[in-house]
Structure 1
Amino acid sequence: MDPNHLKKKLLEQYDGTDLEDLDGLEEVETCQGSVFNIKSEDKLKFYLKNQEKAVECLISDLKLVKGIGNSKENKLKLDGYNNLEDLQNHPRFGRAAGEVLSMIRSYDAQTIASILCERYSQSHPQMLNTCSFTDIEDFIFMDIETLGLKNQPIILLGEASISSDKITVNQYLLKDLNDEPAVLAAHLDSMNDNRVYVTFNGRSFDVPYIKDRLNYFQIDHKLDHHHLDLLHFSRRFYGNHLPNCQLTTIEEHLLGMERVEDVPGSLVPDFYKTYLETDNIGPLIPIIEHNRDDIISLARIISRMNEQID
């Protein structure tokens, strides 16, 4: 549907409806004041590779030891060094192999990620093995909507977590532009040390943007969490098979999902400004739904990727 027609339709449909009438809306108190949260739940079966299988995959990768590449690994395996345990007996690489093996057997996602980052890109399939060392409740699927690409307010910050075959989405919404510090504080409140970000281009956009806004409001933060950016994994997994690696394209081909009356991110500022100007919540609805769909898709896509590497 043409965006202007959609906007007109929504303004008519929601005329006289208050923000407080939205399903799942609650007020959340933070150290920066109160903020509206739209809470929703969906069923979701989330797949994680068995931890012992992940360990086996990691310790069979001799390239995790500095100085070993593909050809050296092949030669070492021909000589009987089939995994890092065997490699501990090697005169040159034994000590380093033991150190890497010890880090893997810490069963700590952040520690294992630090080894992998030294040897591989952030999109290497081995990085997905860190999922197996993360409690399912510690994944945080996150996406933001903003009024611009830089130095503009975050108008909606959506995040989700999983437990018991259920995904719970919390969407912190600016009812007006004064609420942004409270939105940021609500997100910080959910970020304990064990959290693992799952985003789509969040390493380049969402997380740096959040940090910039926190700095702007002089809010202390420590957002250096382990981060799985599905844009980069998607390019590696599906880049040769799909027309492009946009999230909606991946949804369509991988999940069989097609969005209806979706508002692209480029039109979010226009729709939100119309909400502010008219005091009509209609233009907010597709922004909220777009953000929620993005977040749930993140969980479904990484679950599918985990199945593929098993």
Structure 2
Amino acid sequence: MRIENSFIPVRGVGETTERRLWEQGITHWDEFERDAVGETTGERIATFIEQGRDHLAASDARFFDEAFPSQERWRLYEDFRDAACYFDIETTGLSHHRDQVTTVSLLRDGEVRTLVNDPDPIVGEPLTREALREALDAPLLVTFNGTTFDVPFLETSYDIDLDAAHLDLRYACKRVGLSGGLKAIENDVGIERDRPDISGRDAVRLWKEYERGQTGSLETLVSYNRDDAVNLRTLMDDLSTTLHEDCAGGLV
């Protein structure tokens, strides 16, 4: 499902109207004609399509993030998949006011990077405000539970504003009946890890060991964190296919 297949952001267009358009063979903006719906709705759809083309050409995912109903924002994925930044953080605890970020792994433009809260890490790059701003400067951010954890943690800890379009896969997973943490969901859909026995609690332990001088613990932590970031794209690829089938039922 692509943004150009969608009419549901338009005021007055719900799931029923959108499906009726698809059933008429109007499955893409290029195929829309005003007389397919009432005059007022037809004018609104035509206006949205005109604006949408300009925002797509400008790679403005934020426009569509605001236009789509929250439960339908997964439709941004196909258009912005290659430009998205998939990221995950590890921390010393759950409070973004008391605890600190230890590592941030990001997959972007086919490259995996890890920023480490150390001015001279043995692996990865130093984690700084400037490095974060540059690494996360993407039209679409993809996380798991990032709405309530990763994003506020980084914004508080590094005084940055992550206002890009954001797909939180925790909610996309719920729509297709997948619940639990990221590792449990990966197991459910058949995504394998190099280090399946490591958990978030282990990530805290590994950082503490590194602070005590056990350098191998940082290498293990970085490997674990990178799996999180890389697997987000694999998981969203799977979710996108499932959500498309559930939503369009073969019509699009």
Does TM, scored on the shorter chain, surpass 0.5? yes
Which structure has the higher relative contact order (CA within 8 Å, separation 6+)?
A: 1
1:273 aligns with 2:217: no
Q: Residue 100 of structure 2: which of 123, 145, 153 is its match?
A: 153
CA contact (8 A) 2:139 2:165 kept: yes
| Alpha-carbon contact 2:116-2:127 (below 8 Å) kept | no
Compute the displacement of 1:283 (Å): 2.5
Does residue 290 of the first structure (1) align with residue 238 of the second (2)? no
Q: Does 1:210 align with 2:158?
A: no
2:104–2:115 Cα contact (<8 Å) kept: yes
Residues 88 and 105, structure 2, Cα contact 8 Å, conserved in 1: yes
Among all aligned residue pairs of Structure 1 and Structure 2, give the percentage whose two residues are the same amino acid.
21
DSSP-derived class of the 1:298 partner: helix
Decide whether aligned partners of structure 1 residues 66 and 74 sit closer, same or farther in structure 2, where only a CA change above 3 A counts: closer
**The residue matched to 2:230 in structure 1 has which SS?**
helix
When the two structures are aligned, how many residues end up with a matched partner?
A: 229
Q: Is the contact between residue 156 and residue 172 of structure 1 (CA under 8 Å) also seen in structure 2?
A: yes
Provide the secondary structure at the position in 1 that maps to 2:167: strand
Distance 1:283-1:86 versus aligned 2 partners, 3 A rule = same
Say yes or no: does 1:101 pair with 2:49: yes
* Higher Rg: 1
Q: Are the aligned partners of 1:169 and 1:292 in contact in 2 as well (CA < 8 Å)? A: yes
- Pairing of 1:66-77 with structure 2 (within 5 A): 66-70=11-15, 73=17
Q: TM-score, normalised by structure 1?
A: 0.63
**What's the TM-score once normalised by structure 2's chain length?**
0.76
* Partners of 2:214 and 2:148 in 1: CA distance: 33
> Unpaired runs of 5+ in structure 1?
1-48, 216-220
The alpha carbon displacement at 1:169 in A equals: 1.0
Secondary structure class of the residue paired with 2:103: strand
RMSD between superposed Cα atoms in Å: 3.2
Q: Which residue of 1 aligns with 2:165?
A: 226
More strand per residue:
1
Relative to structure 1, is the Cα distance of residues 267 and 112 closer, same or farther in structure 2, using a 3 angstrom cutoff?
same
1:133-144 equivalence runs, <5 A: 133-134=79-80, 136=82, 138-144=83-89
Cα displacement (A) at 1:290:
1.4
In the alignment, the residues of structure 2 paired with residue 188 and residue 87 of structure 1 have an alpha-carbon distance, to the nearest angstrom, of 43
Residue 288 of structure 1 and its aligned partner are, at CA, apart by: 1.4
Distance change in 2, residues 1:305/1:266 (3 Å) = same
Per-residue displacement from partner, 1:211-232 (whole Å, max 9, x unpaired)?
00123xxxxx442111111111
CA 258–131 in structure 1, closer or farther in 2 if over 3 Å, else same: closer
